[in-house]
Structure 1
């Protein structure tokens, strides 16, 4: 199954970005406002570089099946940045996505981060300095997160079945992770 293969082949990238963003501090109770601000800025830069590229490569069918997926997360994270009076990071030169399969690989990285984002939002609401913040980005799926993720996984497994397609999806995920790590 492609999604299991994706998870296995990107685990090191996932661990590296979590390390660079110091995510484990969140659960140790030592995560600071600055850690959160960095996380927002890096994710914002990543979304600015990738969202439009992904959308241009998807089909009408993709948007229809994935109707629960929010393809405009950049706008949400910009609300959070504004609420916190944070400036944006300078644009970087991100990798180009070659085709629809690579776009789905990058989308896998974005949608997968939402799983952790939901936990992040709930945990950060316990921090006194952040308890009244909106968490537009990390908390936007709310109760729909599980269903949205399952629909995405099912669809990606159905759509990309050949070895070549699966390699392209993994290549897209790796490009996305490499850029995300570089931005951090």
Structure 2
């Protein structure tokens, strides 16, 4: 099953980005506003590089089946940056996706980060300087997050079944993680 394959093959990348963004500080009470700001800026740059590239490979069926998926998270994160009076970071990078399978690998990274984002938003609301912030990006799925993620996983498990497709989806996830890590 592709989703299990991706989880196993990308675990090191996932751990590396969490380390670079110091996500562990969320749970020991040492996470700062600066950590949150960096997390937003890094994710903003990542979305700016990947969202349109991914959309270029999606079919009408993809968009219909994944109707719960928000394919414009850049606008949400830009609202958060504006609310916090933060500048957008700029990197000279383009997504190097070659096909639909790789695009779904990158989308796996984006959608998977929403699971952690929900926890981040709930935790940060406990911080006095952030308790009244909107968390448009990290909290936008709200109570629909679980169902959206399950739908996404079920769809990629149905759509990409050959060994070649598994490798292509992983390659897209790998490229996305490597860029995300380089932005941090």
Fold match (TM-score > 0.5): yes
Deviation at 1:94, TM superposition (A): 3.5
Query: Is the aligned partner of 1:124 residue 2:124?
Result: yes
Unaligned stretches of 5+ residues in structure 1 = none
1:136-167 Cα deviation digits (max 9, x unpaired): 00000000000000000000000000000110
Partner of 1:134: 134
Partners of 1:57 and 1:114 lie apart in 2 by 21
Count of aligned positions: 184
Query: Is the aligned partner of 1:176 residue 2:168?
Result: no
Q: What's the TM-score once normalised by structure 2's chain length?
A: 0.99
What secondary structure sits across from 1:57 in the alignment? coil
**Aligned residue runs from structure 1 range 11-22, under 5 A:** 11-22=11-22
Q: Is the contact made by 2:53 and 2:95 (CA closer than 8 Å) also made in structure 1?
A: no
Q: What's the TM-score once normalised by structure 1's chain length?
A: 0.99
Q: Is the contact made by 1:94 and 1:179 (CA closer than 8 Å) also made in structure 2?
A: no
Partner of 2:34: 34
Partners of 2:102 and 2:95 lie apart in 1 by 11
Q: Is the contact made by 1:25 and 1:31 (CA closer than 8 Å) also made in structure 2?
A: yes
Partners of 2:150 and 2:92 lie apart in 1 by 32
| Displacement over 4 Å in runs of 4+ | none
Deviation at 1:93, TM superposition (A): 1.2
Unaligned stretches of 5+ residues in structure 2 = none
1:67-98 Cα deviation digits (max 9, x unpaired): 00000000000000000000010133134100
Query: Is the aligned partner of 1:98 residue 2:98?
Result: yes
Partner of 1:78: 78
Partner of 1:8: 8
